[in-house]
Amino acid sequence: MIIKIKVKGIVQGVGFRPFVYRIAKKNQLRGYVKNMGNYVEIVVEGKEEDIKNFINELKNKKPPLSKIDELTIEKLHQSKKTFENFKIIKSETNEEEEEGTIPADVAICEDCLKEMFDKKDRRYRYPFIACTNCGARFTIVEKLPYDRENTSMRDFPLCNACLREYEDPMDRRFHAQATCCPACGPYVYLTDGKEVIAEKDDAVKEAVKLLEEGKILAIKGIGGTHLTCKVGDDETVLELRKRLGRESQPFAVMSKIEHIKKFAELEEDEKKALTSPRRPIVVLNKNQNYDNYFSKYVSNLDTIGVMLPYSGLHYLLFDNEIAYVMTSANLPGLPMVKDNDQILKKLNNIADYFLLHNRRIVNRCDDSVVKKVGDNIVFLRRSRGYAPEPIKINLENENTKNILCVGAELNSTACLVKKNKLYLTQHIGNTSKYETFNYLKDAISSILKLTNTNKIDAIVCDLHPHYNSTKLAEELSKSQNIDLIKIQHHFAHAYGLLGDNNFFEDAIILAMDGVGYGLDGNIWGGEVILFKNGKMERIGHLEEQYQLGGDLATKYPLRMLLSILYKAIGDDAFEYIKTYNFFSEKELNILKFQIERKINCPKTTSTGRVLDAISALLNICLKKTYDGEPSIRLEPLATQYKKNMTGEIETIPPKIKNNILNTTYLIKKSYEMLLNGENKEKIAYLAHIYIADGMFNIAKKIAKKYGIESIGITGGVAYNRIITEHIIKNAKKEGYNFLQHKRVPSGDGGISFGQGISYLLTQLFNEG
């Protein structure tokens, strides 16, 4: 008996072919396995019973990092014995228009870690140690098939010892493309930017000494570069902030698992995320001992972003320190630097020393970030460890088109839709910046190449006419003569939530964030959306407010507070704003002129702008230095009040009319409470609950009207634990099925995914 098996999924760079070889030999089968670029082809010959056992093991005992999405079996004609034995044969490039999958980068495995710290091992203290179960994948690959000559490891020919392992089917480095050793692989070196100070292990040891002395180091890793320093030294951390121009954005830290409970609370599902081979940054609650170890300048929130070491180099850095600041090495709004010449040039006045290596990073990839909200671990950023693995959705009709979705403006990603799989790129960032916009184009080019996509059938973009991503989509549509579809920002959020949950029935979706271009030309951001019969409809929202000074109101939250207070109490608002000593008399006169005549005062329903106004009212944040800062810094106050609550408290009853939540009333009540000496933490908490209750009440009313049983939340505000968890509590109490993101960011990093889902659902319902 002889059969041909075609396996699609994550079957490259994960030890799949060596695994096939071993189980074929175990079952006395002959034939071959080869990589076809976007799938693996297996031909086996032998007894029927042995082949059945082989197929069973293929499905159920596959390598831990592999994933089989599709397995097809074809019986071949056999007239005589065809094969003498079983072999892994040379890869071929398949020209068929089919999707392939390159696995994401994964953390160093326990076996390699043991070898790295074994003095008798030839890879002792070698930072690039890897095998078929760990190491760089996506960040080193240039094209398919995933073979060494198609990666940046081709720059390092294998020595005899490594070659023996690479060619030995029983070795765990059999066909491990990233395998290497001190004799033949990449090496690290330490420089001050002018000359090399030390190389190889001496460089690592010297780097550790410099960190302990309070120096700031740029450390090149797997997918980019981090800026690193001690966590407990105020002077060093402040100096890093000064050099980077990051006034208050929290720094992520790296620590070993045995140290984390010294400074942070750690729940079991958070620990599971931290220790997974994907190794994201996990946002943890600080504990009462945090200040004993950390400078107050590392994070001014009640949380701290923590990741474990994920490369050999990271583990070698830990000696006496329990944690290091480990923040992406980029100036605000620009991509993380990855090439040695650019690292030295762009970080020249930021890092004191540079711990670099000579392996090329092909695909830049930032760290992923997750956070527990409710009972779920959700993505704030989906990148290293996850990209470019596809997200599969379940639809009855098979999609036959290749769809490119270019995302939004901030926290951007792109997404490629092929059949029922959506391939999200790594995190891109703020595409209003020229360098980041070019990074978006490079990432799109890379994802097309790695999925063997030769033709795009349609492009989906945001409705906003001034986004660079929109302009890119328009240019590509025109130059390649392909369809262009524009989808409203919050509808894309809502579609993304449905696709994330593989739920395509009628639902009410709360889309809450900072900004999105609305169908009426105004700024949306606090929307109640009805999804019914395959269509999205805005059916409720927050009250429209005037964004005083346009984008300036997002940078200076006092402008938002002044605008809403003026609506509530008239000219007295200007007298009150004077107490902040933030605006000059001349500036206040200009602002008064503007607001009275509605000059440069676009209308907005943004949840973010209302939270910004509360943040300014309570003097938490008067100037935004990073995206979402005012509302992000407001949340800990509300959290603190919630922790200290005893029993139920009297909330502010939401004022709703025509499915519109009155936010002027909220700001006025908060202002009055503050003047009456009410606790700031209580005001912050009540403001969050007002928004949560108000939006849920609108959703519930609409759900009852249409007989809908499912309610969900999406958008950047879905990261806010107070608001989201209160809405979840209300929904479950009322018996609703609640939808929350799990596989895709609820913020703008998930917009491109939602754009893809919008296309697929539109086609599905149109055909239906």
> Cα–Cα distance between 136 and 146 in angstroms, integer?
12
Pairwise CA distance, residues 395 & 379, whole Å = 24
Give the up-direction half-sphere exposure of residue 31: CA atoms within 13 A in the CB hemisphere.
28
* Residues catalogued as catalytic: 17, 35
pLDDT in tens, 167-223: 988 898 988 999 999 999 999 999 999 999 999 999 999 999 999 999 999 999 999
* CA angle at 337 for the pair 275 and 404, rounded to the nearest 5°: 80
Q: What is the pLDDT of residue 9?
A: 84
At the topology level of CATH, where does 2-88 sit?
Alpha-Beta Plaits (3.30.70)
Give the pLDDT of residue 97: 53
By mean pLDDT, which of 87-91, 175-179, 210-214, 279-283 is the weakest? 87-91
Residue 40 is given by DSSP the state E
Helix (H) or strand (E) holding 667: helix 663-675
Which residues make beta-bridge pairs with 637?
none
**pLDDT attached to residue 70:** 85
**Which tens digits make up the pLDDT trace of 28-39?**
999 999 888 778
The predicted structure's pLDDT at residue 98: 56
Question: Rounded to an integer, what distance in angstroms lies between the CA atom of residue 447 and that of residue 480?
Answer: 18
What is the per-residue DSSP string for 239-300? HHHHHHT-SSPPPPEEE-GGGGGGTB---HHHHHHHHSTT--EEEEEB-TTGGGTS-TTS-S
Indicate whether 119 pLDDT > 70.
yes
pLDDT digits (tens, 9 = 90+) for 478-533: 999 999 999 999 999 999 999 999 999 999 999 999 999 999 999 999 999 999 99
CA distance 653 to 663: 12
710-732 pLDDT per residue, tens: 999 999 999 999 999 999 999 99
Q: Tell me which of 3.90.870.40, 3.90.420.10, 3.40.50.150, 3.40.50.1000 is the CATH number of domain 188-357.
A: 3.90.870.40
Selection from 719, 745, 740 nearest residue 408 by Cα: 745
**For residue range 737-756, what is the model confidence (pLDDT) as tens digits?**
999 999 999 999 999 999 99
CA separation, residue 667 to residues 255, 268, 523, 677 (Å): 41, 39, 19, 16
User: Which of 278-282, 507-511, 762-766 has the least mean pLDDT?
Assistant: 762-766
Residue 396: pLDDT band with limits 50, 70, 90: confident
Q: 56: which residues sit within 8 A by CB, 6+ positions away? A: none
Given pLDDT bands bounded at 50, 70 and 90, which one contains residue 77? confident
CA distances for 73 relative to 3, 8, 419, 569, 672, angstroms? 7, 12, 20, 74, 72
**Distance from chain centroid for Cα 630:** 21
DSSP state of 384: T
CA distance 700 to 550: 33
Instruction: Return the bridge partners of 603, or none.
Output: 546
How far are the Cα atoms of 430, 441, 447, 476 from residue 435, in angstroms, in the given order? 9, 10, 18, 19
Residues in the chain: 768
Pairing, β 217-220 against β 353-357: parallel
- Give me the pLDDT at residue 642, please: 94
> Is the CB of residue 444 less than 8 Å from the CB of residue 403?
no
pLDDT at residue 436, as a whole number: 94
768 has pLDDT over 70: no
CA distance 475 to 98: 26
The class that CATH gives domain 545-739 is alpha beta
- Report percent pLDDT > 90 for the chain: 85
* Burial readout 368-392 (b: 16 or more C-beta within 10 A, e: otherwise): bbbbbbbeebbbbbbbbbbbbbbbe
For residue 122, the 8-state DSSP code is: T
pLDDT at 137: 94
The pLDDT tens digits for 335-369 are: 999 999 999 999 999 999 999 999 999 999 999 99
CA nearest neighbour of 1 among 53, 57, 71, 70: 53
CB 63 within 8 A of CB 9: no
Q: Which fold has domain 371-495+747-767?
A: Nucleotidyltransferase; domain 5 (3.30.420)
Residue-level pLDDT at 100: 61
**Cα–Cα distance, 737 to 16 (Å, whole number):** 39
**Tens-place pLDDT, residues 416-462:** 999 999 999 999 999 999 999 999 999 999 999 998 899 999 999 99
- Is a pLDDT exceeding 60 seen at residue 407? yes
User: Cα 342 vs. chain centroid, distance in angstroms?
Assistant: 24
The structure's pTM equals: 0.94
* Nearest CA-CA partner of 591 in 616, 563, 619, 572: 563
Go through 485-518 and write b for each residue having 16 or more CB atoms within 10 A of its CB, e for each that does not.
Answer: bbbbbbbbbbbbbbbbbebbebbbbbbbbbbbbb
CB of 466 closer than 8 Å to CB of 521: no
Q: How far apart are the first and last CA of the chain?
A: 43
Q: Which residue type occupies 635?
A: E
What are residue 207's DSSP bridge partners?
A: none
Beta bridge partners of 510: 528, 713
* Predicted local distance difference test score (pLDDT) of residue 79: 61
C-alpha span between 148 and 156 (Å, rounded): 10
- Phi, psi (rounded to 5 degrees) for 562: -60, -45
From the list 177, 187, 118, the residue with the least C-alpha distance to 148 is: 177
Contacts within 8 Å (CB) and 24+ apart, 317-321: 317/204, 317/207, 317/208, 317/211, 317/219, 317/228, 318/256, 319/208, 319/212, 320/212, 321/211, 321/212, 321/230, 321/231
Percent of the chain with pLDDT over 70: 98
Angstrom CA distances, 289 to 71, 230, 259, stand at 52, 17, 12
Question: Which tokens belong to 681?
Answer: 């933490």
**Residue 6, helix vs strand vs coil:** strand
* Fold matches, 188-357 and 371-495+747-767: no
Q: What pLDDT is recorded for position 93?
A: 64
DSSP state of 307: E
* Model pLDDT for residues 621-678, shown as the tens digit of each residue: 999 999 999 999 999 999 999 999 888 889 999 999 999 999 999 999 999 999 999 9
Which string of b and e fits 627-661 if b means at least 16 CB within 10 Å? bbbbbbbbbbbbbbbbeeeeeeeeebebbbeeebb
* pLDDT for res 397: 81
Identify the CA nearest to 37 among candidates 454, 457, 455, 458. 454
Cα 747 to its chain centre, rounded Å, is 9
Q: What is the mean pLDDT of the chain?
A: 94
Task: Report domain extents, the chain.
Answer: 2-88, 188-357, 371-495+747-767, 545-739
CA distance 755 to 211: 44
Q: Tokens 């943890």 sit at which residue?
A: 284
Give residue-wise pLDDT tens across range 517-532. Answer: 999 999 999 999 999 9
> Residue 95: its pLDDT value, please?
57
At 583-630, the pLDDT tens digits run: 999 999 999 999 999 999 999 999 999 999 999 999 999 999 999 999
